[in-house]
Amino acid sequence: MIRKLSCLALALSIAGCTGGVGGGEYGFNSPYSLVRATDITVGDDSLVVTAPHEWNRARPFFFDDVRWVEDWTLNGPSLDSMSFVSGLPGGKYLVRQSRRADRQVPKFRSDMTAPEVAAMIESLYRVRAGTVDFRTIALQPRPFVGTNGFQFDYEHLDTDELWRRGRAVGAVVNGELYLIILDGARSHYFDAAAPDFEAIVNSARIRR
């Protein structure tokens, strides 16, 4: 989702989010590559997860590539998406953005608490996805990557007039942010992908 947001924002100014060369199962020009149902390293390869089913990985998009961030989808990013953040260091952003943009996703800081990370995620949606209504459903403790993490559940209405639901599970480990986000249309798509998401979150471990 994270990169998708950047794509949507840029989609009108450049041809689209089809960046990337290479082949794979989907052909030379496909913006996606297949994720097999096995152990996968994501982001900058410091996070390992086990996918219970096949997913589609968005190719790194050369304009908007944050090396700690990776996006997957099943039915296309406007219906569902899973995003991985693999140890974002303090002082970095979840998305590439112009320093001069009026509206900006806040910078991550190493000493952020879970409520602050949750607020940063909320601003990500409001700034980059055109979210006009954002509702926190719950913020609660949850173990993640072998440490005390958090689970953040929320719903958001975007300017395409669709309600979406999201769940972010994360933890700050040695000052770096590890996060997995599931985001999908509130009707059907979120729930359909939720079992895979749960399995992936529970399988996540940091590669040292």
Residues that bind other proteins (CB under 8 A): 8-13, 99-107, 109, 111, 113-116, 118-119, 122-123, 126-130, 132-134, 136-141, 150, 157-161, 163
Looking at the Cβ atoms of 40 and 112, the one nearer to other proteins is 112
Q: How many whole angstroms separate alpha carbon 176 and alpha carbon 155?
A: 26
Cα–chain center distance at 95: 10
Looking at the Cβ atoms of 10 and 185, the one nearer to other proteins is 10
Instruction: Report in angstroms how near the CB of residue 136 gets to other proteins at its nearest.
Output: 4
Looking at the Cβ atoms of 8 and 48, the one nearer to other proteins is 8
Q: How many whole angstroms separate alpha carbon 64 and alpha carbon 150?
A: 27
Looking at the Cβ atoms of 35 and 66, the one nearer to other proteins is 66
Closest CA to 93 of 204, 3, 183: 3
Instruction: Report in angstroms how near the CB of residue 181 gets to other proteins at its nearest.
Output: 17
Instruction: Report in angstroms how near the CB of residue 48 gets to other proteins at its nearest.
Output: 27
Looking at the Cβ atoms of 6 and 56, the one nearer to other proteins is 6
Q: Which residues 6+ apart lie within 8 Å of 85 measured at CB?
A: 2, 43, 68, 69, 94, 170, 177, 178, 179, 180, 181
Yes or no: say if 22 and 7 are a contact pair by the CB < 8 Å rule.
no
- Secondary structure of residue 129 in the 3-state scheme: coil
B/e letters for 163-172, b = 16+ CB within 10 Å, e = fewer, are ebbbbbbbbb
Instruction: Report in angstroms how near the CB of residue 117 gets to other proteins at its nearest.
Output: 11
Give the H or E element holding residue 6: helix 2-10
Looking at the Cβ atoms of 48 and 157, the one nearer to other proteins is 157
Instruction: Report in angstroms how near the CB of residue 51 gets to other proteins at its nearest.
Output: 28
Instruction: Report in angstroms how near the CB of residue 112 gets to other proteins at its nearest.
Output: 9
